[in-house]
């Protein structure tokens, strides 16, 4: 157990924005670890207009000490729900967790508490199961997660991070982003502009919410549309996709790639939806979609 000598800054607000997912096991695990650590804490669970029956079971978490359950009848979006929660916290440090996370380390909370006080934003990261899912339609998301979303190279991601309340309110999430994608990118960009350091802490959660390939690809497209809109009023924003597009443009290949993408789009989708998806094909699809969306048809 963490020593009781921790100063008053070791008081933690845990924020779990929730949408169409059973959070009971996650909240219980967090609650148990906070009690074990002997800290002052609160766990805020705000449902963002779920469309399934998860609210009927999730509201039971409010029976736990220091857990607050709030239901929003209308979906506000990933950015707005996080800002709403941050405006209602009591304590000086905020730990954000996606609802489709699983705590896999017994000392998860203690690992964060040991870093308090800190001026940095700590990104704990995520991991995916080592074993490939039995359902072929989940292979694309699983492969992408294993290869692209694990480890300290990932940069800022909002699925599992600690930030001081003061730093959060210097930035906030941009609520103009209503659809899925790149609210993380913009928040990380704003942290950089404000001079707030982002550090990787090897303290991952397990990602549970694998989506089938059509939905996963649809969200990738939505994220690219968001990125294109962001570039209009945030011209300095940097992404891997945008850097690739600039490189290809310098080689004079953009027009050719757009023609190939438009003629082979259905073929690429079939390859991605099969049992043996390729991240190379996904990259081709994404750069083709990005370039095509930015050019007149």
pLDDT of residue 176: 81
Calpha distance 88→296 (Å, rounded): 45
Say yes or no to pLDDT of 282 above 60. yes
Nearest to 187 by CA among 152, 216, 160, 157: 157
Verify that 248 and 192 share a domain, yes or no. no
Share of the chain above pLDDT 70, in %: 96
Of 78-92, 106-120, 227-241, 269-283, the poorest mean pLDDT is in 227-241
Region 175-191: what's the mean pLDDT?
84
Is the N-terminal amide bond of 102 cis, ω within 30° of 0?
A: no
Calpha distance 260→269 (Å, rounded): 13
Say yes or no to pLDDT of 198 above 60. yes
CB 277 within 8 Å of CB 143: yes
pLDDT of residue 168: 96
Domain limit, last residue, from 177, 212, 247 = 212
Verify that 107 and 21 share a domain, yes or no. yes
Verify that 267 and 180 share a domain, yes or no. no
Domain limit, last residue, from 181, 197, 212 = 212
Tokens of 132: 């490939």
Verify that 119 and 57 share a domain, yes or no. yes
Nearest to 75 by CA among 98, 51, 53, 49: 49
Asked whether residue 141 is domain-assigned, the answer is yes
Calpha distance 221→215 (Å, rounded): 10
Tokens of 158: 């909002």
Tell me the per-residue pLDDT of 107-155, one tens digit each, with 9 for 90 and over.
999 999 999 999 999 999 999 999 999 999 999 999 999 999 987 777 7
CB 184 within 8 Å of CB 157: yes
Residue 92: give the domain boundaries.
11-212
Verify that 31 and 136 share a domain, yes or no. yes
Verify that 168 and 96 share a domain, yes or no. yes
pLDDT of residue 297: 57
* Average pLDDT of the chain to the nearest whole number: 91
The whole-model pTM stands at 0.91
CATH number, position 129: 3.90.550.10
């Amino acid at each position: 157990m963490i020593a009781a000598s921790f100063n008053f800054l070791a008081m933690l607000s845990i924020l779990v924005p929730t949408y169409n997912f059973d959070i009971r096991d996650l909240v219980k695990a967090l609650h148990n670890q906070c009690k074990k650590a002997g800290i002052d804490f609160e766990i805020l669970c705000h449902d963002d207009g779920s469309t399934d029956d998860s609210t009927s079971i999730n509201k039971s978490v409010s029976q736990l000490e220091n857990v607050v359950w709030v239901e929003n009848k209308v979906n506000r979006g990933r950015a707005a729900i996080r800002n709403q929660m941050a405006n209602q916290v009591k304590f000086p440090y905020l730990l954000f967790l996606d609802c489709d996370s699983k705590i896999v380390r017994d000392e998860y909370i203690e690992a964060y508490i040991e870093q308090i006080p800190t001026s940095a934003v700590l990104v704990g990261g995520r991991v995916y199961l080592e074993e490939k899912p039995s359902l072929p339609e989940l292979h694309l998301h699983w492969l992408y997660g294993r290869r692209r979303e694990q480890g300290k190279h990932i940069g800022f991601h909002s699925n599992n991070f600690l930030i001081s309340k003061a730093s959060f309110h210097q930035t906030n999430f941009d609520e103009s982003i209503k659809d899925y994608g790149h609210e993380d990118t913009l928040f990380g960009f704003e942290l950089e502009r404000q001079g707030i350091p982002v550090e990787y802490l090897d303290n991952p959660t397990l990602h549970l919410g694998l989506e089938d390939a059509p939905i996963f690809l649809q969200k990738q497209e939505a994220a690219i549309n968001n990125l294109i809109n962001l570039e209009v009023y945030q011209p300095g924003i940097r992404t891997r996709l945008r850097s690739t597009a600039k490189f290809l443009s310098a080689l004079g290949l953009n027009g050719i790639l757009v023609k190939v993408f438009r003629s082979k789009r259905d073929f690429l989708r079939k390859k991605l939806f099969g049992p043996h998806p390729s991240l190379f094909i996904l990259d081709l699809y994404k750069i083709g979609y990005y370039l095509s969306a930015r050019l007149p048809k």
